[in-house]
Amino acid sequence: SREGLRAECERARELGYATEREEGTPGIRCVAAVVPYRIPASDAISCSLPVDQIDDAGVREIGELLVEVTARLGRELRRAGVR
């Protein structure tokens, strides 16, 4: 539903990363964070894993790590003048 999509987008904004479970590929979970150096954002880094090898806590840990890494990468790209 449209409301569900809005809620999911808001959650991703709050967390700094988005997740999905078997939406694109059966048996796979994905976590992704935007690389914040362009407006509008056009790049992201993601990590995909088998659903049976990661739980919700692991997804949160990877999401938080991706937020740190993409923030650092975004700063470096802006510093280098990449737009």
Output the domain CATH number for residue 15.
3.30.450.40
pLDDT band per the 50, 70, 90 thresholds, residue 56: very high
Query: Which domain does 26 fall in, by range?
Result: 2-79
- The count of structural domains within the chain is 1
The model's pTM is: 0.86
Compute the mean pLDDT over every residue in the chain, rounded to the nearest whole number. 93
pLDDT digits (tens, 9 = 90+) for 18-48: 999 999 899 999 999 999 887 877 899 999 9
3 state SS of 74: helix
B/e letters for 29-57, b = 16+ CB within 10 Å, e = fewer, are: bbbbbbbbbeeeeeeeeebeeeeeebeee
Can you give the pLDDT at residue 38? 79
Return d(Cα 74, Cα 83) in angstroms, integer: 10
